[in-house]
Amino acid sequence: MTTFRLPDLGEGLMEAEIVAWQVSVGDHVTTDQPLLTVETDKAVVEIPAPYAGTVRALLADPGEVVATGAPLVEIDTGKGADTGAIVGDFAAPEPARPTAPVRVAHKAPARVAAAPAVRRLAEEQGVDLAALKGSGPGGAITSADVRAATSGLSGGAELRGVRRAMARAMAAAHRCVVPATVTDRADIHGWPPGEPPTPRLVHAIVAACRAEPALNAWFDGTRRQLHDHVDLAVAVDTPDGLFAPVLRGAEAAENVAAEVASLRRAVEARTLAPEDLRGGTITLSNFGMIAGEHAALVVTPPQVAIVGAGRIAEAVVAVGGAPAVRRLLPLSLTFDHRAVTGGEAARFLAALRADLERPAISGKEAGDG
């Protein structure tokens, strides 16, 4: 009997949430056959079988968060292991049952459904598990349910998946980043009618990174790394939470609009690979597509800056000493003041605004093919 444990999924990830098992106890699996899917760092990852054999026990339930190295499944790799991708029973002598009890996947406990750690927490807090309504898979009681019972918060649900990852990322940013925000407005009245803002924003960010590279950088609290390329993370709002897929090599993108649209579709379909969400060197949040003028945004380490684009609107401004109605694009730049000076941020914002205020850029510059 061999126990397969949650493998290292890279990028320093320490845990994953079980999404679904694709095998059951008694199934015969082959090497590289899909075993289960897990969710970590906003991406859904499929984990294959590391070897052939017969599944004897599933050691984690859907919805359960397990640490790297924790046991996932027991596979009998002995003589009876099948190599033909047969799923289900076949006419062969049933192997001897192990004397030690094994855990059958998805089998509800005879009493209240709660993990041992949750039971210990409930005992310490004096909470009657039988009086709680579980928010976990299959109605299982979670540690959050126990804490809610002692805090007066009831009826809530423990954060899972994307929202849990978002909460942790925001908390980490709050702990270590020293944020500062500067704002401005770009006069885009000279843009051709109907020109979409996203390609122009991407082009302007690239131009600003060239003018002031200090904003296109990573900082770990001690060391700063400047980048000679722009891997732009683009914030995408969804009902499940916030995603920030990365537009690689934005300075060389051949069709920005199409590439950003492709990233958005992948977010909606949840087909992004983990690497599609990592390695951004600076972030764009075009929150003005929904509402809002300026914002103090959140910088996610190791990045040091995020650009915000507010709602485009007409306003009366002075042009040549006389009032005129112009289309204005509000801009926000939040930066990590540990690694970026106010002068560097202001120069970046000035370059960003100057590029956006150009009446037009060539198709090649705009990355529209």
Domain ranges of the chain: 2-76, 116-151, 178-366
Q: What is the pTM of this model?
A: 0.70
Q: How far apart are CA 82 and CA 65, in angstroms?
A: 30
What is the domain class of 178-366 according to CATH? alpha beta
**pLDDT (0 to 100) of residue 280:** 97
Q: How far apart are CA 286 and CA 232, in angstroms?
A: 13
DSSP calls for 237-279: EETTEEE--EETTGGG-SBHHHHHHHHHHHHHHT---GGGGS-
Structure-token pair, residue 141: 């009681």
Q: Please enumerate in sequence order all residues whose Cβ is within 8 A of that of 138, keeping only pairs 6 or more positions apart, or say none.
A: 61, 106, 108, 113
Taking domain 116-151, whether its CATH number is 4.10.320.10 is answered by yes
**Tokens 């009086």 found at:** 131
**pLDDT (0 to 100) of residue 129:** 84
Q: What CATH number was assigned to the domain covering residues 2-76? A: 2.40.50.100
Q: How far apart are CA 232 and CA 281, in angstroms?
A: 6
**CA distances for 43 relative to 185, 187, 218, 284, angstroms:** 35, 38, 22, 20
Q: Please enumerate in sequence order all residues whose Cβ is within 8 A of that of 115, keeping only pairs 6 or more positions apart, or say none.
A: 64, 140
**pLDDT (0 to 100) of residue 250:** 97
For residues 125 and 115, the answer to whether their CB atoms sit within 8 Å is: no
**pLDDT (0 to 100) of residue 96:** 41
pLDDT tens digits in sequence order for the chain, 369 residues long: 799 999 887 766 778 888 889 999 999 999 999 999 888 766 778 899 999 999 999 999 888 888 888 999 999 987 544 444 434 343 344 444 443 333 333 333 335 777 766 777 787 777 888 888 777 766 778 777 777 777 766 566 677 778 888 888 898 899 999 999 999 999 999 999 889 999 999 999 999 999 999 999 999 999 999 999 999 999 999 988 899 999 999 999 989 999 999 999 999 988 888 889 999 999 999 999 999 999 999 999 999 999 999 999 999 999 999 999 999 999 999 999 999 999 999 999 999 999 999 997 765 555 544
**pLDDT (0 to 100) of residue 79:** 54
Instruction: Identify the helix (H) or strand (E) that includes residue 335.
Output: strand 322-336
Q: Please enumerate in sequence order all residues whose Cβ is within 8 A of that of 234, keeping only pairs 6 or more positions apart, or say none.
A: 244, 245, 246, 247, 260, 263, 283, 284, 286
